[in-house]
Amino acid sequence: MSRALAPGAYLVLDLAVTEAAGHRPGDVARAAALHGVGTVQVRAKLAAPGAFVEAVVEVARGLTGTGAALVVDDRVDVALAARSRGARVDGVHLGQHDLPAADARALLGSDALIGLSAARPDDVRRALTDPAVDYLGVGPVRLTSTKPDATVAVGFDRVRDVSADARAAGRPVVAIGGLGAEDAGVVRAAGAHALAVVSAVCAHPDPGAAAAALVTAWWQPATHLVAVAR
Residues 27-32: contacts with CB under 8 Å, at least 24 apart: 27/62, 27/207, 28/62, 28/201, 28/202, 28/207, 29/59, 29/62, 29/63, 29/68, 29/70, 30/62, 30/63, 30/66, 31/207, 31/208, 31/211, 32/68, 32/201, 32/207, 32/208, 32/211
pLDDT band at 190 (very low <50, low <70, confident <90, very high): very high
> Binding site: what residues are annotated?
41-45, 73-74, 98, 117, 144-147, 178, 198-199
Q: Which helix (H) or strand (E) holds 184?
A: helix 184-189
* pLDDT surpassing 90 at residue 222: no
- 89: burial class by Cβ within 10 Å (0-12, 13-18, 19+)? buried
Q: How confident is the model at residue 147, as a pLDDT? A: 67
CATH number of 8-229: 3.20.20.70
Instruction: Report the percentage of the chain scoring pLDDT > 90.
Output: 89
Domain-wise residue ranges, the chain: 8-229
C-alpha span between 212 and 73 (Å, rounded): 23
> Binding site for Mg(2+): what residues are annotated?
74, 98
pLDDT band at 82 (very low <50, low <70, confident <90, very high): very high
* pLDDT surpassing 70 at residue 223: no
pLDDT band at 3 (very low <50, low <70, confident <90, very high): confident
pLDDT band at 217 (very low <50, low <70, confident <90, very high): very high
**Residue of higher predicted confidence among 143 and 201:** 201
pLDDT band at 52 (very low <50, low <70, confident <90, very high): very high
* pLDDT surpassing 80 at residue 95: yes
- DSSP H stretches of helix in 7-95: 15-20, 25-34, 49-62, 76-84
* pLDDT surpassing 70 at residue 111: yes
Q: How large is the average pLDDT for residues 109-129?
A: 96
